Structure 1
């Protein structure tokens, strides 16, 4: 049960380093210079986005046999591992939400939109399909998002400029590859009836 919390937390925290939403956090921190409303916006947006993604993952897993689910998870984790190796760049339209909304609402809207189709949202879908406790998966992926983004909001450029992003992306990719290997092992095990 604790695995449903800890694995998603670690995976998303690693995958989020250098991600476009981390760049967005940096831009919002520089623009508004009010860290707590920005952090609250990140929490609200991530919970809403990852709850929807987790629900999709849980729904998908209820319609697939264990064997098929594990093969899909293995392919998805492999694709996400490869995707993690590619550095993200901030899209101009995601950073230009009107300032009139203030730091909380701007962050909420921008983060929610930026997370749609992002690798951490895809990871949340896969993790929710794999782990039995949906609530813990959502809490874990949200904690992972906060572990990666709160220091950027609080420390601004200092933290982002000093992190070895290439190494962190490689560690995150390796973690996704390990999950893919575990899913392949589980698929083979289920298929063979062991």
Structure 2
């Protein structure tokens, strides 16, 4: 699963590498679009989503829990020395950790928790402009009215636009208040002052002091 995910990252990076001597055709075609930095970032995110969906679907297909083309069946997977790697049913969970929970990026994280965040569209009352990684806003968990400051490091991108969904490493200011109160699955809201700009869900607690 790790190798599949790293290959996805290699494909994505090479698609936007305009300096390499051995450039890909995709990189050349993207450069011909003459995109500015923001347009390039948006396109990169779209391609990243596409690669995630494609490779994750292939892995689920090998696991027997999704179809490949018009066929759905379970495959046994062996290595070069004929050792059984998988006989079906044990790939999906590991694939999810890498492609949807960013296990590679967060494996050595020192943040408080990992979360999935959805920023509201402008027409839903959300922000009118993008935010950059290291952005701070107010955070309120659904089980409490207490408001704390939350620093967000976005995973796989430096820019997040209104309407985007992204995973993030989050550090909160009031760690003592939330001692032993948090667990995976807890929802929260993000505010700028009294303005609701997004919602989120805790994926994984990293700081053991916060774990319920």
TM-score, normalised on structure 2? 0.28
Bigger RCO (CA 8 Å, 6+ sep): 1
Q: Which structure has the highest strand share of the two? A: 2
Which of the pair has more CA radius of gyration? 2
Q: Which structure has the highest helix share of the two? A: 1
